[in-house]
Amino acid sequence: MEHLDFRFSFLHQLLIREVSKVKPSFETFPDLAKNVTSLLQRMASKVCRGFLRPLKGRLMGTQAAAAARKDTRETGMLLPYYDPMITKLPNGLLVASLENFAPISRIAVVVNAGSRFETGDNLGVTHMLRVFAGMGTKDSTAFGLTRTMQQSGANYTCSANREFMTYQVDCIRDELDGLIPLINNVINKPAFKPWEVSDLQKQLALDRALFQSQYPVCVSELLHEAAFRTTLGISVCAPQHMIGHYTPEMLEEYVQNFYTVDRMAIVGVGVDHDHLVGLCSSFKPNPSSGISTQKAKYAGGEIRVNNGNGLVTAALATEGPCLPSKDLLPACILQMAMGTGPFIKYSNNTEVSRLGKAAASVTSSPFGISCISGAYSDGGIFGFSATTNKDDIGKVLKAAFQEFAQITKIGIKPEEINRAKNQLKAAVLMQAEHTDMILEDMGQQLLMAGGLADVDAFIDQIDMITAEDVNLVAKKIINGKPSMAAIGDLSKTPYLDELYKAVCEEGGGHCWGDKTFDLFPTPTPVLIVLTPFSCLLCSFFSLPFPISGLLSPSISSPHTPLFLFLFPFFIPSSFSLLLCLPHCSLSLLFLPLSLLLLFFPSFPHLTMPFTFSHYTQGELEKFLA
């Protein structure tokens, strides 16, 4: 606060000096100095209001809480606590609410009709519907809708993501009754007038231009496209080639198919449940269309946009857990352990974050790096994104990739897991303080799970996760097929295969994914003895002699043998080669071959395919098929 005091003192001295030039002086009007001081205090209040507003909010909240505690002590009464309540209306519409006795009521209609359900013929239709949310309906004009909202002092927004469209209204409690019918008209009685649809497509062009100027958002969209192609890979922003081609019939068809009673829920915070149920009884959504939707399927790939910008943003991810998966919480803890950005404003994010440390070790230029995770109803991605100048982006990506690879070698320490769990619990509880987040989360939970999860139970589940759980999920995720997206001057940004090759060469020449595997491990005394013994034993009992091995995905130890084909029932569960010889006499012929393969695992010129020591994953799958 010293700078504020200094500013007040400076203004005080300046105004006193100017006023002193006016005759008569302060001695003639003794109250003038007092009035000047009062004036300066008001001026300082206006000047410093922007600086003090956040502090004022906290102080007012503290004062309100203190007043509530004082009233509680004096009266001995507490406001009742209500759990979230859920009601299913006779038409099948779900209604949920949470009463928190706030002066502001927040109502949202959540519809499972996000961009993932678009097709090639209507790409970007959800973006168009989002822009159209403030236009006329069958019962009111756009002017009437706007005027009613303004007269009520309401805040009306429409947002969308890959799975859901959300229409939200915030207002004081007394005005709620008049606003619910308006939202009903917007959602269930839209009027797609041709002239309004045509005019609003100019807004789409502006939205897209703003979207393309935000590189981190663009990279996220491209990463989803590379990972899933369709469904979850469809962008929430309308493509350029569709702007100007949306028709009222296209919008009406999408609303009829997806704005249905089985895909819709109404949620409220700061509202009486019975009152909300009564207001929502007027909602008459479209009946279920029975339309089939495509399940998301992770594919993997790479998308690069070279626009010449010196600041490069890139993201790399593999398949992550979906929302119903048991691996979701360990993955969230892993994300916190790797680093999700600075927790202190304007800090450099290099003291605790593993990704921040790794990036800082290879560049002295400014950078931003964070572990990213996106979980949806039937798919997910997990990885990291980085932003820095074009000369250092390759080094930063490589360092971050190596940091993830390091987890497959030594895992994450228990103390790091505990810190990450505390950060995750803090993030969950802090989000629970925001009614907007609660509102959106309630609606999505209703539509995906049919119920609402308890925050305390969620925190207990986080406490139950062990370091072993996190490390197992980490290996599962990191060893998955990668996807990559990048925007900027990509002249020095490595391609995905080049990045893998560089990291894998430093790790011993082998890497999971499209890299090579050792079918035959380095010979050891035990293997030298057991292999011919196994061959002779199989020959004696006329058993087929299996040549198979469990492939190790470990980057750190590519020659680590896990099993070596002893008996037919010792067939491992991973990629294997099986050579079954039905005749015992022929089995004896493979005794020299087995010894040859043990001592010379890279012997390259044998004509039979099982004699090569290195195969790619794709070659193995093709051979085994």
26 C-beta neighbours (distance < 10 Å), count: 15
Q: For the residues 401-405, what does the mean pLDDT come to? A: 92
Q: Tokens 């231009």 map to which residue?
A: 209
Average pLDDT over residues 245-268: 96
With beta carbons less than 8 A apart as the criterion, state whether 84 and 98 touch: yes
Q: Is the pLDDT of residue 117 over 60?
A: yes
Which pLDDT score, from 0 to 100, does residue 606 have?
A: 36
Q: 313 and 335: one domain?
A: yes
What pLDDT sits at residue 518?
37
pLDDT interval class at 209 (50, 70, 90): very high
In this structure, the answer to whether residues 211 and 164 fall within a common structural domain is: yes
The reported pTM is: 0.72
Query: What CATH number should be reported for the domain holding residue 486?
Result: 3.30.830.10
Whether residues 377 and 401 fall in one domain: yes
Looking at per-residue pLDDT, the higher value among 618 and 14 belongs to 618
The per-residue pLDDT for range 531-574, each reduced to its tens digit, is: 555 555 554 444 444 443 333 333 333 333 333 333 333 333 33
Task: Let me know if residue 287 belongs to a domain.
Answer: no
Name the phi and psi angles at 546, rounded to 5: -85, 135
Q: What's the whole-number mean pLDDT along residues 315-320? A: 97
Alpha-carbon dihedral sign for residues 191, 192, 196, 202 = positive
* pLDDT for residue 595: 52
Final residue in a domain of this structure, among 239, 263, 280: 280
- Please state, in angstroms and rounded to a whole number, the distance separating the CA atoms of residues 595 and 523: 9
290 inside domain: no
pLDDT at position 447 is 95
- Do residues 385 and 472 both lie within one domain? yes
Q: In this structure, is residue 146 part of a structural domain?
A: yes
Q: What is the mean pLDDT of residues 330-352?
A: 85
CA–CA separation, 545 and 582 (whole Å): 8
Count the helices and strands in the chain (H runs, E runs).
20, 13
Lowest mean pLDDT among 258-272, 475-489, 589-603: 589-603
**Average pLDDT score over residue span 512-536:** 48
pLDDT one-digit tens code per residue, 478-500: 989 999 999 999 999 999 999 98
> Is 497 in the same domain as 536?
no
Whether residues 112 and 217 share a domain: the answer is yes
Q: Average the pLDDT over 243-249 and give the result.
A: 95
The secondary structure of residue 376, as a DSSP letter, is -
Q: Are residues 358 and 436 in the same domain?
A: yes
Average pLDDT over residues 382-403: 95
pLDDT at 576: 35
Q: Domain containing 527: what range? A: 516-624
> For residue 298, is it within any domain?
no
What's the pLDDT score for residue 552? 34
Question: What is the model's pLDDT at position 592?
Answer: 57
| Angstrom distance (rounded) from CA 224 to CA 303 | 10
| Last residue in a domain, options 20, 51, 75 | 75
Euclidean distance between the first and final Cα of the chain, in Å?
Answer: 72
Task: Give the residue-averaged pLDDT of 260-282.
Answer: 95
| Backbone torsions φ then ψ of 54, nearest 5 degrees | -60, -40
Arithmetic mean of pLDDT, 474-480: 92
- Token pair for 449: 């799970």
Give yes or no: residues 92 and 66 share one domain: no
Give the span between the Cα atoms of 181 and 341, in whole angstroms. 43
Domain assignment present for 144: yes
How many domains are contained in the chain?
Answer: 4
Task: Judge whether residue 42 has pLDDT over 50.
Answer: no
What integer best gives the mean pLDDT of the chain? 77
Q: Is residue 574 part of a domain?
A: yes
- Could you give the percent of the chain with pLDDT greater than 90? 59
* Confidence band of 25 (pLDDT split at 50, 70, 90): very low
- Which segment, 18-22, 263-267, 540-544, 602-606, is predicted with the most confidence on average? 263-267
pLDDT, residue 59, reads 36
pLDDT band at 504 (very low <50, low <70, confident <90, very high): confident
- Say if residue 516's pLDDT is above 50: no
Residue bearing the bigger pLDDT, 610 or 405: 405
**H or E stretch covering 371:** strand 368-375
Task: Give me the phi and psi of 157, to 5 degrees please.
Answer: -135, 155
Q: What is the reported pLDDT for 454?
A: 87
Q: What is the mean pLDDT of residues 126-138?
A: 94
Rounded mean pLDDT, 40-65: 39
Q: Is residue 395 part of a domain?
A: yes
Residues 36 and 153 reside in one and the same domain = no
Tell me if 158 sits within 8 A of 133, measured CB to CB.
Answer: yes
Closest by CA position to 337, among listed 467, 461, 428: 467
Please compute the mean of the pLDDT values over residues 347-369 and round it to a whole number: 87
11 residue type, one letter? L
Q: Please give the C-alpha separations between residue 26 and each of 11, 43, 319, 566, in angstroms, as whole numbers.
A: 18, 21, 77, 106
Q: What confidence tier does 81 reach under pLDDT thresholds 50, 70, 90?
A: confident
**Is 382 inside a domain boundary?**
yes
- pLDDT at position 342: 81
Is there a contact between 371 and 384 (Cβ–Cβ < 8 Å)? yes
Q: Are residues 188 and 315 in the same domain?
A: no
Residue predicted with more confidence, 2 or 165 = 165
| Model confidence at 337: pLDDT above 90 | yes
pLDDT at 567: 36
Looking at 438, 473, 506, the residue that finishes a domain is: 506
The residues with which 389 forms a beta bridge, in sequence order, are: 311
pLDDT the model gives residue 502: 82
Specify whether 257 is located in the same domain as 132. Answer: yes
Do residue 318 and residue 371 come from a single domain? yes
